[in-house]
Amino acid sequence: MSDDAAFAARSGDPFSTNGTANVTFFGGSGEFFRTFSATLPGTLLPRVLEFTDFISVAAGDLDDVEGPDGYLHDEIVVAKVASEDVANYNYDVDVVNYASGQIANPPITALHFSATKPGFPDAANLRGVLRSDNIIAAVTGDFLGTGRKETAVLALGNGTLVLHTYRYETTGDTHALTEVGTGETINLLSGVATGSSRRRFCPGGGIGADSSSRCSDRTAFHRF
């Protein structure tokens, strides 16, 4: 057992319409290693000028199932903007399972949602106001109070925040990712939330429920 860092980043030309995202591991005992793990399914939105790529990573033991070695292992959650249409961004939520104890070729389970695009300011009219660094955040935590962790993804819309929460389950070799409730939309002007679920927000850090919640833009610490 060791703690490693999992990193998700774009592969290839940042402005290509066929871009993809890779998961890479950093860590190890003794000699530090960097190991390619997987290319995530689907595409990655071409980079918006003057912004980072829209990717967020979180780690946590979502299924509470022991691997063949008898230990519990964290899953990696990667949320990313995959594509766009006229009004919306289309998001992928991928859960990467490392219960086998192997870094290469892990099973990946995916779900998708769409949300209204943010209203990006014109660069010529910023007048000292900085653009947002990222519009998406993923986190894991026991949001429902069941003793099991879920994963939540928060996306910036046009004057709104859109929240989706998912439960991940493993039965034998079968993995399932299902949405909890029907999502939630928070109006940034009024602060009014609509939807079937209630969550607690960590100022400046995304979404939180307990001290074990961990989230980051690109990197997550993973119990391997």
- Nearest to residue 34, comparing CAs of 6, 71, 62? 6
pLDDT of residue 186: 83
pTM of the model: 0.81
pLDDT of residue 136: 94
pLDDT tens-digit readout, 133-148 = 789 999 999 998 889 9
Local structure of 77: helix, strand or coil: strand
Three-state secondary structure readout of 155-202: EECCCEEEEEEEEEEEECCEEEEEECCCCEEEECCCCCEEECCCCEEE
Q: Are 130 and 117 in contact (CB under 8 A)?
A: no
pLDDT of residue 198: 46
pLDDT of residue 222: 47
The answer for residues whose C-beta is within 8 angstroms of residue 128's C-beta and 6 or more apart is: none
Range among 64-73, 106-115, 211-220 rated most confident = 106-115
Residue 29 confidence class, pLDDT cut points 50, 70, 90 = low
Residue 158 has which token pair?
């046009």
pLDDT of residue 67: 84
The CA-based angle 196-160-75, given to 5 degrees, is 65
Residue 72 confidence class, pLDDT cut points 50, 70, 90 = confident
pLDDT over 90, % of the chain: 48
Dist CA 144 CA 141 (whole Å): 9
Dist CA 8 CA 79 (whole Å): 10
Residue 77 confidence class, pLDDT cut points 50, 70, 90 = very high
pLDDT tens-digit readout, 84-95 = 999 999 999 999
pLDDT tens-digit readout, 145-194 = 889 999 999 999 888 889 999 999 999 889 999 999 777 888 876 545 55
Average pLDDT of every residue of the chain = 80
Q: Are 179 and 165 in contact (CB under 8 A)?
A: yes
